[in-house]
Amino acid sequence: ISKIFIHENDTLSFNVLTPLTQDNNIYGAIIVRGFLTQESRETALISFNLFNLYLIIFFFMFLLSIIFTRSIIRPIKTLSFLAKAEQDKFNPPLNTLNYPIRNDEIGGLSDNIKNMSKELKSRINELEKFAADVAHELKNPLASLKTSNELLAENKITSKDRQLLFSNIIKDIDRMNRLISDI
């Protein structure tokens, strides 16, 4: 039999009564009494403090994980934005874009993207200059061919000048062939 009793001083006791038996004969009884109020309060206080400590640790771990995640994600988002800005042909010069400066892997990635972008822009500028030079070099013989064609179409030139024009046309065609082969 187990019972909980409230005493006049508002303390609780937990009482357990067990008979002493042997061969179905009862020889006596044992009563065990424990006071619960004082120990419960201490146990409850310790349990409450441990639970609060757990909540505080959980809160700080959550806060630290958010801070850590943002410290990684923010520079990656910045690098993504800068890569998109570098794709734009009309973007500002390279020195106005602020790449993240860090001493970790993200900083290395930032430096690599900056150098790659600089090299790509340099190569694109070289290709544009090359294309402009090729266009200029091809326009000269074309202009000469056009002029020769117009003179031949008017038919107001002498046969000697006509032979000279045909000779110049052949030279211009050979020059264009060499330029195209060189390209």
Residue 57 or 159, more confident: 57
Strands across the sheet with 2-6, in order?
Answer: 2-6, 12-22, 25-35
In whole angstroms, give the CA distance from residue 84 to residue 78. Answer: 10
In the numeric block, the tokens 């031949």 are attached to 152
Task: Count other C-beta atoms under 10 Å from residue 117's C-beta.
Answer: 19
pLDDT tens sequence across 2-49: 787 777 776 777 788 888 888 888 888 888 887 765 555 677 677 778
Enter the pTM of the model: 0.50
What distance, in Å, lies between the first and last C-alpha atoms of the chain?
106
pLDDT at 152: 82
Whole-number average pLDDT of the chain: 82
